[in-house]
Structure 1
Amino acid sequence: MVVISDDTVRLRRLLFFDAVCREKGISHAADAIGMTQPAVSLAIKKLEESFGATLFERGYGGSELTLEGTLLQRRVRRMFDQMEAAVVELLAGSKSRSVDVGIVCRHLTDAQIRCHIAIVQLGSASAAARKLGISQPAVHRAARALEDTVGVALYRRRVHSVSANAAGIGFARRLSLALHEIDQAANDLSSARGLASGQVSVGMLPLLPQRLLARVIRRLREDYPEVAVTIHEGSHTRLMNDLQFGAIDVIVGALREPRLQGDVVESALFTDPYVVVVRKGHELATRESVSRKDLAAYGWVVPQKDMPRRTVVETMLATLPHRPRVVVETSSLAMMMAMLEENDCISLLSRSHILYGNYRNDVVALDMETPEAERTVGYTTRLDWLATPMQHAFIEYLREQCRIDH
């Protein structure tokens, strides 16, 4: 979830900052946006205090961006690009009259955006009010004001509840990505000052070998001791939603088949063969040859239906003399291994689960071919993602660790 800071995410201050960058000076910026020079100067001062940075070198010729100012400008420009794209996308799906997108963006307020994102993420205005620590009427006022500003209905209103409609959800996604750019700016500035602090938020798909990420994080912390890494484990659908809202930076795990397109990019890391496994001590573990009839004689522990590996399992089961019993469906690797250890069940894992896991002494891979004999493990990012130096380092260490292990 995007963390909105009242100190740094002030649209008005960032708008003034963008104007000073464009006009090369405070006085010209004040004229361009119809504000007084003292008001613009105060906004820039507050912004510098918020980021703990000197953003401009002021001289007789105007205001020149410092290195820190240049880094912030890049993120602010990306923020406003996302906001403009959000408005364009919203209006394209409506019958609203033609409007000036720039003017609409300049009229959006912190309160409107903060409340709208909270309504979408939490599912209702009442939950948004509790999360933001404000009254429910205040949330309703902000929601109505936002609809008036954009000229498009964003909510489904019932007698006792307000929730976002499809247009509102898409609009919130873009706005979340816009605000996320300012969070990224803070990390950029820390790196520019030589500080080994910052954030990396990783989505981990079910059945991804956890030791792989542990090794990558260990290497990252050697270069960035103060890095804060957050791991979110969940289904592909949930993590994709988090990625598209800017709540996570990258998803690591089995790539989709066929590959995803559109607003995300999938990058392959290694291929991972599937193997049929049983516990050590299982009757089939010591056999030199295992038949299809043997596989049908035992219960199976299988992944849930929304997982790519389930398709491979179903293909294999369809080739057996009769369909065996499915004992348990689970996306939990720990639960799957517990079932294998305590029962004479069979399952399908990838070789990396045995390579990286603590299970090499517990399970045996049967010597037999499997259909669609491998999966591709990789990572998924947003198409327009601009990684911070620390996030870029995480990706490079991830790729390097996979080359070492595979």
Structure 2
Amino acid sequence: MTLRRYLDRRLKLHHLRAVEAIHAQHSLLRAATTLGISQPALTRTLQDLEEITGQRLFDRLPRGVRPTEAGTLLVAAARRILAELHRLDEDLDRLSEPGSGTVAIGTLPVAATGVLPGALTRLTAGYPGIHVRLEQGRTEELLPQLAAGEIDLIVGRLYEPAVPDGFPREPLWEEPISVLVRADHPVLSLPEVTPEALRRYELILPTVSQRVGQEIEVLLDMLGLVPGASLRSSSYGFIREMLHATDLIAVMPRLMMAGDLLRGTLRVVPLPVPAPPRPAGLILPRDRTLPPGGQAFVACLRAHLAEIGQRGLTAITMTDTQAPESDKTGGQPRG
């Protein structure tokens, strides 16, 4: 006999917030702190939920909790419902204040420091009523948020999914790994830059995710550069200052330094070495259209990409932009 749970009558919003917090924090104590309630109160809420659903929702572990299959289903539904309510709140704000709105953007680290600042500057100037929420992370961390409606789109490197996931991907630009130096670096005065010439200089490398790190290692190996004694930092500001002040050379995704490349204070070293393709762009939701704020952001992103493409910083792959693609690391801004 099928159990009638009457979830539409019995589930409350505080139940959904509770199960989502427990899943996010992997701990009843941390979830209670996040929600601003006591742990016994959260435990009673969880017991209430398990009575309503007729299922155990979390397995208690020596350290923390882990969702059961039923718990995973309920968490996914809770995230969708809470995201829809948040979106409704924003839509009602837009009705009361025409020209306003919100766009929630998931961004990968390279895009966050590269193309995103310029696109958001355009958005702020052209659409001052639109508010932006940013969530930075890896693709595998952001996709569940996109599926749940917690973010509107993802911007950054387009990695091939291990298995098809149904999310539309739209390539817009390339994020090549390049060799960067200050504008008056001695290596740029050479008639031809060779790997041997680069080996005379010390390296500074970014501390990045494993996948980006592997792509940097590929170019280092192609150039015969040994990264063992190189200086490494997770601070792009520190790398930037060291490049401007010394003869260090950096091997990194060039758009991490897009602002300095546009200003001409840093340069891309032209090398006769094919750069492995690194397509980047948008990952869009499967089952809904972008809100007006999201559409405005994409328009500003396209405009910014067109500008940096015209300056020679990267190959642009948008269908409405006839920018030549390049398989070299030697593109550099003009003018």
The question of whether the paired residues in 1 share the 8 Å contact of 2:103 and 2:291 is answered with no
Q: 1:221 to 1:343 in 2, by over 3 A?
A: closer
Matched, 1:179 2:82: yes
Question: Could you tell me how far 1:276 is from its partner in structure 2?
Answer: 1.5
Find the partner of 1:399 among 290, 293, 302.
302
The amino acid that maps onto 2:67 is N
Q: 1:115 to 1:234 in 2, by over 3 A?
A: same
The question of whether the paired residues in 2 share the 8 Å contact of 1:350 and 1:374 is answered with no
Q: How far apart, CA to CA, are the structure 2 residues paired with 1:330 and 1:205?
A: 18
* Aligned match of 1:375: 278
Question: Could you tell me how far 1:138 is from its partner in structure 2?
Answer: 1.6
Q: How far apart, CA to CA, are the structure 2 residues paired with 1:133 and 1:258?
A: 38
* Aligned match of 1:129: 32
Structure 1 portions without partners, runs of 5+ = 1-96
DSSP 3-state at the match of 1:270: strand
Matched, 1:253 2:156: yes
Question: Could you tell me how far 1:295 is from its partner in structure 2?
Answer: 3.1
Find the partner of 2:247 among 339, 344, 362.
344
Structure with higher helix content: 1
Question: Could you tell me how far 1:222 is from its partner in structure 2?
Answer: 4.9
CA offset digits 1:89-117 (Å, max 9, x no partner): xxxxxxxx9656x8445432222211111
Q: 1:395 to 1:334 in 2, by over 3 A?
A: same
The question of whether the paired residues in 2 share the 8 Å contact of 1:207 and 1:331 is answered with no
Q: 1:398 to 1:147 in 2, by over 3 A?
A: same
* Aligned match of 2:238: 335
Q: How far apart, CA to CA, are the structure 2 residues paired with 1:401 and 1:305?
A: 25
* Aligned match of 1:201: 104
Find the partner of 1:165 among 48, 63, 67.
67
More relative contact order in 1 or in 2 (CA 8 Å, sep 6+)?
2
* Aligned match of 1:31: none
Find the partner of 1:292 among 195, 198, 207.
195
Q: How far apart, CA to CA, are the structure 2 residues paired with 1:314 and 1:401?
A: 29
* Aligned match of 1:117: 20
* Aligned match of 1:52: none
CA offset digits 1:122-155 (Å, max 9, x no partner): 3321222222222221211111222233333322
* Aligned match of 1:107: 10
Q: Percent identity?
A: 26
Find the partner of 1:229 among 117, 125, 132.
132
Q: 1:215 to 1:354 in 2, by over 3 A?
A: closer
Compare 169-178 and 232-241 and name the one that shifted more. Answer: 232-241
Compare 335-344 and 114-123 and name the one that shifted more. Answer: 335-344
Question: Could you tell me how far 1:217 is from its partner in structure 2?
Answer: 3.2
Q: How far apart, CA to CA, are the structure 2 residues paired with 1:351 and 1:305?
A: 13
TM-score (norm 2): 0.76
Q: 1:187 to 1:305 in 2, by over 3 A?
A: closer
Q: How far apart, CA to CA, are the structure 2 residues paired with 1:196 and 1:209?
A: 25
Q: How far apart, CA to CA, are the structure 2 residues paired with 1:113 and 1:244?
A: 17
Q: Name the Cα RMSD after superposition.
A: 3.3
Find the partner of 1:143 among 35, 46, 51.
46
May I ask how many residue pairs the two structures share in their alignment?
A: 308
Q: How far apart, CA to CA, are the structure 1 residues paired with 2:17 and 2:248?
A: 50
Compare 286-295 and 351-360 and name the one that shifted more. Answer: 351-360
Q: Give the 5 Å matches for 1:23-102.
A: none
Compare 345-354 and 183-192 and name the one that shifted more. Answer: 345-354
Matched, 1:262 2:165: yes
Q: 1:260 to 1:302 in 2, by over 3 A?
A: farther
DSSP 3-state at the match of 1:372: coil
Matched, 1:362 2:265: yes
Q: How far apart, CA to CA, are the structure 1 residues paired with 2:30 and 2:124?
A: 37
* Aligned match of 1:271: 174
Q: How far apart, CA to CA, are the structure 1 residues paired with 2:307 and 2:34?
A: 44
TM-score (norm 1): 0.64
Question: Could you tell me how far 1:326 is from its partner in structure 2?
Answer: 4.9
Q: How far apart, CA to CA, are the structure 1 residues paired with 2:225 and 2:242?
A: 22
CA offset digits 1:279-306 (Å, max 9, x no partner): 3444323222222233344333334463
Q: How far apart, CA to CA, are the structure 2 residues paired with 1:215 and 1:143?
A: 45
Determine which structure has more spread, i.e. the larger CA radius of gyration.
1
